[in-house]
Amino acid sequence: MNLARLFRAVATSVAIATSGFLVGACDAGTSPKTANIEPGPMPAGESWNGVYFHPIYGYLHLVESGSRIVGRWKRTNQSHWGELNGTVSGNVLRYTWKEHQIGMVGPSATTQGKGYFVYKMDEEGRPILEGQFGLNDNDSGSDWNNVKQARMRPDLKSIGGDAEGVPPGGF
């Protein structure tokens, strides 16, 4: 086999392999990931109102008004702050979220997506949120589990900025 024929054979093989990969990659992103979570009853005497903690995402402040929830958080490393709003059905909260990178402006300063939390009690009787969030139209993909903090009241105004990506008080 001469060198030109070998080159054509290799190029054809690469083109076929690449086209199959590209078709698969395009198909993989067409339908969003959606968690199939069935609501159950809220644990007796419990409320969504409160402050919850995650070691990376920090303190999540949630305020409930009827079946609507709004919330805000600031990461423990102070690099981002975020906001969510959603609807409660029993012990399940489905929400949309935005997270803003502090000190950054423009389209890449804000990410967004969807997610869910399931309100439950852990083995020690502490209220916890077990959930996931995803980017854009996905509502799952990354875990976000929180422990409710005793004796802490939510304060949405303590987190955020005047504009997206700007911390309270500016730079």
Residues 124-141: tens digit of each pLDDT: 999 999 999 999 999 999
pTM of the predicted structure, to 2 decimals = 0.76
**Claim to verify: residue 4 and residue 79 sit in the same structural domain:** no
106 occurs within a structural domain: yes
Burial of 20 (0-12, 13-18, 19+ CB in 10 A): exposed
40 occurs within a structural domain: no
Q: Which of 32-36, 138-142, 146-150, 162-166 has the lowest mean pLDDT?
A: 162-166
Point out which residues pair with 133 in neighbouring strands.
115, 142
The token pair at 150 is: 């005793």
Q: Which of 30-39, 40-49, 109-118, 162-171 has the lowest mean pLDDT?
A: 162-171
**Claim to verify: residue 145 and residue 70 sit in the same structural domain:** yes
pLDDT tens track for 68-93: 999 999 999 999 999 999 999 999 99
Range of the domain at 115: 50-158
Confidence of residue 28 (pLDDT cuts 50, 70, 90): low
Number of domains forming the structure of the chain: 2
